[in-house]
Amino acid sequence: MKALAKRAFKRPTEHPQLPQNILAKPKVIPRDKHPISRKDISPPALKVLYRLHHAGYQAYLVGGCVRDLILGLQPKDFDIATNATPEQVRKLFRNCRIIGRRFRLAHVVFGREIIEVATFRGHHDLTDDERANSKAVQNDKGMLLRDNVYGTIEEDAQRRDFTINALYYNIADFSILDFADGLRDIEAGTIRMIGDSVTRYREDPVRMLRAVRFATKLNMRMDESVADPIRELAPLLQNIPPARLFEEFLKLFTAGKGLANFDMLVEYQLFQQFFPILKSYLKTPDDAPYQMLRQTFSDTDERVRNELHITPAYLFAALLWWPLQARLEQLTVESGLPVSDALNVAAADVLGRQQQTIAIPKRLTIPTREIWQLQYRMERAKGKRIQTLLVHPRFRAAYDFLVLRAQTALPSEQRELQQRAQFWTRLQSEPAQVEALAASGPSQSPKKRGRRGGRRRRPKATS
């Protein structure tokens, strides 16, 4: 908000509240009254905006990118809204592909940058006859399953979730259209829903996650009408496809606000829907499992701030560690399996249960398993096996996880884990110590002894 104060623009006048928070006529903020400059907009986004405009279509930057530019932040994505259909957009751009089932979108691809172009959405509250011919589909809980109903910019603004996202930057005259007093809420630091919050959450339960994410990212507070229904409606997240929840997981916990998001999600009973396998570990904040979760997100946030590499596999390894231990202990007692075999079975069970909620891709489950396996290999490594572990591709993540365990372990285990963490820390800083341990270690497999006497040679023939 400090950046906003430096870039002053004309404050919108007050108005009587209208149904669904939508103004009868949008407020138009001209170019000289707002801080958005084209030099802050991605060149590919400008290219798409101008081509749509010159082709006779309406073209607007919309949503979060407009909000972030007003706040002086660098948007992660630039989204565009237009009255052109996805098929018409594809005719203008050879580098365009149409995606989406719930709502069809046009993606215009410029190398690694993708500009998302959405057609203005219309209302789906139709009559029975109109609904029979409509492309909008809802389930019995009110959630939108398919929403390919096109409309006008006014209808599209009413379909937006929060007032701070109902802002449109017009490439035709560089003005901003404010349909829901979003600028006023940005100045006030308030997240307010467009329309009835319960209805909007039922349409798309992911909006509850978005409300939390915007609150922590933008340092804003949720209006009571936004926050109050969340605890009761949190179980609706069980109806969201696991693949979509995986995307939301990345947005919440890999962007530098993981700890703040975790605390707020737990408070509103949303994290428990993300990770139902962790419900029993979230009851007492002072317990070791709870502290490990908070420390995990704190460490990840620090790495993001320092622009260091992070991997979601490490997060999943830490989050699911305690359920893994419980399952491993159960298997060891009941089946008598060796630790290595029991660990593989326990890992498969725990990851399988979690994937019913979040679709963790294989590219992450494999390194997650390796981080777990390395915890036991680091405990028993001797001799040349130490060198093998030090050059393992997952060693650094496994070492960081070992340090995390030492910091948040149960009192009965903490001393042993701290000694083990210090041992591996010292090895990384003293290469000579590694060579000495490798030379003296008993881990070399004995060489096979050859047949006594060697191969018998045939005597040379005599004349």
Q: Which residues are catalytic?
A: 77, 79, 161
Maximum C-alpha span of the chain: 125
| Burial per residue of 2-23, b for 16 or more beta-carbon CB atoms within 10 angstroms, e otherwise | eebeeeebeebeeeeeeeebbb
170 forms beta bridges with: 60
- What is d(CA 366, CA 64) in angstroms, rounded to the nearest whole number? 34
- What is d(CA 168, CA 166) in angstroms, rounded to the nearest whole number? 7
**383 Rama sector, left if φ>0, alpha if ψ -120 to 50, beta otherwise:** left
Question: Are the C-beta atoms of 347 and 324 separated by less than 8 Å?
Answer: yes
β-pairing, 113-119 with 79-82? parallel
β-pairing, 221-222 with 190-191? parallel
The single-letter DSSP state of residue 83 is S
Query: If residue 214 lies in a helix (H) or strand (E), which one and from where to where?
Result: helix 206-217
Question: Are the C-beta atoms of 67 and 164 separated by less than 8 Å?
Answer: yes
Q: What tokens were used for 413?
A: 């285990």
Name the residue among 68, 83, 387, 357 with its Cα closest to residue 241.
357
**157 Rama sector, left if φ>0, alpha if ψ -120 to 50, beta otherwise:** alpha
- What is d(CA 195, CA 207) in angstroms, rounded to the nearest whole number? 13
Beta carbons within 8 Å of 393's beta carbon, 6+ residues apart: 370
Question: Are the C-beta atoms of 270 and 209 separated by less than 8 Å?
Answer: yes
Burial of 132 (0-12, 13-18, 19+ CB in 10 A): exposed
DSSP H helix total and E strand total for the chain: 23, 12
Distances (CA, A) of 397 to 292, 313, 373, 405: 15, 9, 12, 12
